[in-house]
Structure 1
Amino acid sequence: MSNPDPLSAYDILGVAEDVSEGDLKRAYRRQSLKYHPDRHPDDPEAGQKFHELTTAYELLQDPVKRQALDESLRISKSRRARLASHDSKRKILQEELEAGERAAKKFRAGDVERAAAASEKLAKAKEESKRLLEERMKKLQSHAPQSRADSRSSATEPVATDTPLRIRYNASKFPTLVDSSSISAFFSSFGEIKSDLIVLTRKKRKNSGGGDDVITALIPFISSIDALNVVSSASQDRFKGMHISLLSKGAGTSAEG
């Protein structure tokens, strides 16, 4: 049986995102008693519902996982707001397009000049509507903008998903993590990774006198939940000495190994 989608944990328990710890416990107790398997021994759906309630409650009880969940919800809401704004602009253009078409039908055959002007406006409206639609499709097909600079540059690092994982470490502490393949293999146990989109930069530490290099990498997980699980596992010994964070536009969730 698979775990419920962590992004629906608040909905599963029927609580708001700013719910207090006390209200969270009361909500879980009320719901779990309602669907407890002992009360419904012959109802497999009740058992599944009880499992989902327990999993959601345990997730929200963990401060690190709850913080990561709230960040994912914030990013998701922001993206929906951007798309809604985009749809609004496209709707206005569509209305102008339809108005132009209606006006064009009223032109008399002999009014060539007015018909030509209306035709030009109609063509521009169609082109703009097509452009907005293509932009929206690109946003839906890609999780984030590509890099504007060479991967060796320390300026702007590309983002491959809405919540890509960002790691930083000294080369001497992780001598086997030297390229995209080794990094992908190191984190593959958490979930599927777009290995061909991993971006890695390597630069000398300032004032190190020619010492250790600092490596920074962006790891695009297919699922943002897998990236969140890496952050929540940052205290494990395997990550000791590595800074791990979720990179997002305007905010981030991080942990130190």
Structure 2
Amino acid sequence: MKIDILTLFPEMFSGVTGSSIIKNAIEKGLVNVDATDFRPFSTHRQGHVDDYPYGGGAGMLLMAQPLFDAVAHLKAEGVKPRVILLDPAGVPYTQKLAEELAQEEQLIMICGHYEGYDERIREHLVTDEISIGDYILTGGEVGAMAIMDSVVRLLPGALGNDQSAVTDSFSTGLLEHPHYTRPADFRGLTVPDVLMSGHHANIERWRHEESLRRTASRRPDMLDVYPLSDADLTFLKAEVLYDPNKKEQ
């Protein structure tokens, strides 16, 4: 996979690409990541990439020309990349979208600054507009880092155990169950007996029910779309955790 990031601050990405899972994936040849300053693509005599909006208003807008030319320069031959605009008005980012993006050959992410973008960038350049949350950041760099991290860890071979990505929260449709490690008794706080039993079927049942319990408690909205079995419904109703007939819990 090739990931290109268009930014006015490429130095921000050196720590992310030089650490942890992303660093390992780069060294294994699973992904190639480049952060490119798009200011040199400006044809403005002073190298400006922003300008005042027509009709007036506060702030400056990123101009179309530098970004159109930068994207054209980065497109790999024979590949149709996903060109992602990081923007608060984009669709909310989800694990499902991360899994979709992980199948692509090339991602180009545009990190904005200032008040916004020339609308022609949205209409004629990008394939996706993505928001990582309902809040405003100084620029799109943090969002690009989050997307890059979530996508790279899904690439086969990026994690020490590929099964880890499959069982993560959101990947299964539920929040992940609790985990414990040694010692079994820490200051009187003990590990549930079922995890010490060696009975794999009981352990899997406990983990699934704890995922249901945690999801119902923290993110009941996820259960509205999760394919609950009859056994799941019986458990949730017995625990008074979830009523599928109620839209709000």
TM-score by length of 2: 0.24
Who wins on radius of gyration, i.e. which is larger?
Answer: 1
| TM-score for the superposition, normalised by structure 1 | 0.23
Report which of the two has the higher share of helix: 1
The one of the two structures with greater contact order (alpha-carbon pairs below 8 A, sep at least 6) is 2
